[in-house]
Amino acid sequence: MSSPMLDVRALNKVYAGRGDPVEAIADLSFQVSDGELVCVVGPSGAGKTTLLRCLAGLLPATSGDVALAGEPVTGPPQGMAVVLQEYGRSLFPWMTVAQNVELPLKEKGVARGERSRLVGEALEAVGLADVGRSYPWQLSGGMQQRVAIARAAAYEPQVLLMDEPFAAVDAQTRFELEDLVRALWKGLGVTVVFVTHDIDEAIYLGERVLVLSARPTVLLEDVRVDLGAERDQLETRGAPEFARLRTHVYELVQQAKLGVRSLADARLTHAG
Amino acid sequence: MTAAQATAPATAQAATRQATPRRTAWGVVRSVLYAVGLPLVLLAAWWVATADSESPFNPPLSEILATFGPTWFSGDSFADTRFVQDVLPSLGRLLVGYAIALVLGIGLGVLIGAVRPLRELAEPVLEFFRAIPPPVMVPVLMLFLGVGTSMRVFVIATGALWPILLNTVEGVRGLDPVLKDTARAFRFGRWGRVRRLMLPGASPQIVTGARQALSIAIILMVISEMFAARDGLGFSVVQFQRSFAVPEMWSGVIMLGLLGVLLSFVFRVATAAVLAWYHGYLRSQRGGA
Ligand SMILES: Nc1ncnc2c1ncn2[C@@H]1O[C@H](COP(=O)(O)OP(=O)(O)OP(=O)(O)O)[C@@H](O)[C@H]1O
Ligand SMILES: [Mg+2]
């Protein structure tokens, strides 16, 4: 395998604000190779958002290194797009949907004709071709979420980071958006890191699932997901392998909540 | 992207909410009636109350209105009228002073709002200056700048600056951190952040500050002309008063009122487009269309 797209080594993050310092991430090391789709799960408050912000260059690490395509990440790197947890607030309310999708392309210096092609394609892909001229606040939560995804997709990133993007949408929309992410991932050949607290979602989407411990975070297990390249909401979720992985990851997360900090200490009753 | 298109959810248009309530002809008539209704009532009351007035200081409104035209629009040529000789210079100083205040206020406001150490340094000083009533600066500035046009423009500019500056600072500081992170993650340049994030994001507060500043600028325009002036609307009113030309003095007050109404109308038209999104946004936040 060639050098990884994302390389995280001994990452440690301590929030040193007012009051006591909070160690969010104790020690994390993992790699994501080019074109992989990796999901990150862990208990609430485990430091998933913190990890993602460190990967995105939005938050400096306290110690350790993050590298993107061999280059150390010190600020938001080129070729990376982020869908933040608060997607609704991440859309510029003074711009239309199409302008929101176009804006990062303008800042990137993409020529006008190319821009409108990319915007059109991205909105088409998320099923919002007909609301380009609406404002984000005229849309439902699920639609706003798709705008945020379209904006990231139109940017044509090498790496796409997503933080619990579907936490606030209804189950039906959620399934549609999950398939959309898989489709975009395949269509664009992009490397994806997808943070979620939903175990089923992580297994359904990912080629790998990174299970994090509670804060201060370490990696409990790097779970390989062998469910094939084609996923189907009914078939995949009904497969025995899916059920096995689901049980395993569920138990790990439960153990993580109880404070277990290594796979060796985890008491897994349903050994698969 | 074909794979993605196949799975695209197709609920889009149905969920779009109506952006703006439709304006009917009756709605327009009603808003015009609302706008001019109260002024008409007040004028009528003034007219009736002063109709038989014998007081030299409180002449009938009919007499004031009769002197309005001759006072402001008579002369050997149009260039000789008081309108051109006094009102336009006032207006010119007002607009220049106001424009300076806008440029400085927004520019400094963005800078101070965006750079935290600068803000912490500047904030107490700004509060101090804001607390000083601007008219008190007129005699002070006269010492430094004399009594010419530059003093008057300067008075207007420095008085109008504070509401614009402080509101801009507030607006930039209050930007949603999620929007700031978004701009950073997509690698907006410095100028891109100012132009595409801070200015539009702070525009509601900037407009609020600019509106306050406009009233202050008009007041200062008049006051600055009451000290050692040779022309101007404020100067004219004082001159009429000193020569007991009472109806003319009142007509000056009316001229000033009309000017204020005109300016605030222009202001509203000019800012309506800037804030169109904001009104819709607020309405959607309150959970109704
Ligand atoms: N700015 C901050 N200052 C201090 N502590 C913080 C800050 N941001 C997060 N933390 C702490 O770091 C820990 C991890 O937070 P983080 O937001 O990364 O968790 P998370 O896994 O994303 O949680 P969730 O699943 O609820 O989104 C939490 O204990 C939180 O209180
Ligand atoms: Mg989070």
> CB of B266 within 8 A of CB of B272?
no
In the sheet that holds A22-32, the strands lie side by side as: A71-72, A63-68, A6-15, A22-32, A217-224, A208-212, A37-41, A191-195, A159-163, A80-83
pLDDT digits (tens, 9 = 90+) for A81-92: 999 988 888 999
Residue whose CA lies nearest to ligand 1 atom number 2: A15
Q: Give the ligand at the shortest distance from the Cα of A214.
A: 1
pLDDT band, residue B167 (cuts 50/70/90): very high
Question: What is the predicted pLDDT for the residue at A271?
Answer: 61
pLDDT for B20 beyond 70: no
Q: Does B6 touch chain A (CB under 8 A)?
A: yes
More confident residue, B206 or A140: B206
CA A5 to chain centre: 15
Q: How many CB atoms lie within 10 A of CB B34?
A: 9
Residue A197: CATH number of its domain: 3.40.50.300
What average pLDDT does this structure show over B232-245? Answer: 88
ipTM: 0.90
SS3 letters across A223-247: EECCCCCCCCHHHHHHCHHHHHHHH
pLDDT digits (tens, 9 = 90+) for A100-140: 999 999 999 999 999 999 999 999 988 899 999 999 999 98
Q: What percent of chain A has pLDDT over 70?
A: 99
Ligand 1 pocket mutation pick from A11, A28, A50, A218 by most atoms within 8 angstroms of CB: A50
Contacts of B178 in chain A (CB under 8 A): 84, 86, 89-90
Q: Does B284 touch chain A (CB under 8 A)?
A: yes
Best to test chain B binding among A137, A145, A166, A190 (most B CBs inside 10 Å): A137
Which residue in the block uniquely carries the two structure tokens 């600055």? B224
Q: Give the A:B interface size as CB pairs under 8 Å.
A: 127
Task: Please tell me whether residue B1 adopts helix, strand or coil conformation.
Answer: coil
Judge whether B26 lies within some domain: no
Contacts of B185 in chain A (CB under 8 A): 56-58, 76, 80-82, 84
Cβ separation B12–A138 shorter than 8 A: no
Task: Please tell me whether residue A191 adopts helix, strand or coil conformation.
Answer: strand
Judge whether B32 lies within some domain: no
Q: Is the CB of A17 under 6 A from ligand 1?
A: yes
> CB of A31 within 8 A of CB of A223?
no
Count of the separate structural domains present in chain A: 1
Q: Is the CB of A15 under 6 A from ligand 1?
A: yes
pLDDT for B19 beyond 80: no
Q: Is the CB of A19 under 6 A from ligand 1?
A: no
Q: Is the CB of A22 under 6 A from ligand 1?
A: yes
Least confident of B2-11, B106-115, B142-151: B2-11
Whole-Å CA distances, A110 to A104, A133, B181, B184: 9, 21, 21, 18
Count of the separate structural domains present in chain B: 1
Ligand 2 centroid to residue A86 C-alpha, Å: 9
Best to test chain B binding among A105, A107, A174, A192 (most B CBs inside 10 Å): A107
E strands, chain A, are 6-15, 22-32, 37-41, 63-68, 71-72, 80-83, 159-163, 191-195, 208-212, 217-224
Taking the C-alpha atoms of residue A189 and residue B174, their distance in angstroms, rounded to an integer, is 38
Ligand 2 centroid to residue A65 C-alpha, Å: 21
Judge whether B182 lies within some domain: yes
Question: What is the predicted pLDDT for the residue at A160?
Answer: 94
Contacts of A135 in chain B (CB under 8 A): 19, 277, 280-281
In chain A, the residue whose alpha carbon lies closest to the alpha carbon of B18 is: A138
pLDDT digits (tens, 9 = 90+) for B104-143: 999 999 999 999 899 889 888 888 888 888 888 888 888 8
Q: Does B273 touch chain A (CB under 8 A)?
A: no
Question: What is the predicted pLDDT for the residue at A247?
Answer: 92
Question: What is the predicted pLDDT for the residue at B40?
Answer: 86
In sequence order, the 6+-apart residues with CB closer than 8 A to the CB of A184 are: A125, A149, A153, A160, A190, B1, B4
pLDDT for B93 beyond 90: yes
Whole-Å CA distances, B166 to A144, A212, B62, B116, B220: 33, 45, 44, 14, 19
Q: Give the ligand at the shortest distance from the Cα of A21.
A: 1
Question: What is the predicted pLDDT for the residue at B10?
Answer: 39
What average pLDDT does this structure show over B160-180? Answer: 94
In sequence order, the 6+-apart residues with CB closer than 8 A to the CB of A266 are: A220, A251, A252, A255, A260
What average pLDDT does this structure show over A210-222? Answer: 92
Both tokens assigned to A206: 């990912």
Q: Does B272 touch chain A (CB under 8 A)?
A: no
E strands, B202-263, are none
Q: Which domain holds residue B200?
A: 79-288
Question: What is the predicted pLDDT for the residue at B113?
Answer: 92
Q: How many CB atoms lie within 10 A of CB A80?
A: 25
Q: Is the CB of A146 under 6 A from ligand 1?
A: no
B196 DSSP assignment: I
Closest Cβ–Cβ partner in A103, A176, A186 for B9: A176
Judge whether A114 lies within some domain: no
Judge whether A247 lies within some domain: yes
Residue B223: CATH number of its domain: 1.10.3720.10
More confident residue, B158 or B10: B158
Q: Which domain holds residue A234?
A: 1-71+159-170+190-272
Nearest of A63, A77, A58, A105 to residue A5 by alpha carbon: A77
> CB of A6 within 8 A of CB of A66?
yes
Taking the C-alpha atoms of residue A166 and residue A172, their distance in angstroms, rounded to an integer, is 11
Judge whether A9 lies within some domain: yes
pLDDT for A148 beyond 90: yes
Task: Please tell me whether residue A2 adopts helix, strand or coil conformation.
Answer: coil
Ligand 1 pocket mutation pick from A48, A195, A201, A219 by most atoms within 8 angstroms of CB: A48
Ligand 1 centroid to residue B132 C-alpha, Å: 44
Q: Is the CB of A215 under 6 A from ligand 1?
A: yes
In chain A, the residue whose alpha carbon lies closest to the alpha carbon of B282 is: A137
**Based on the number of CB atoms within 10 Å of its own CB, is B190 exposed (0-12), middle (13-18) or buried (19 or more)?**
exposed
Ligand 2 centroid to residue A43 C-alpha, Å: 10
Judge whether A98 lies within some domain: no
Taking the C-alpha atoms of residue A12 and residue A221, their distance in angstroms, rounded to an integer, is 18
Look up the pTM and report it.
0.85
Residue list, CB under 5 A from ion ligand 2: A 49
Q: Is the CB of A13 under 6 A from ligand 1?
A: no
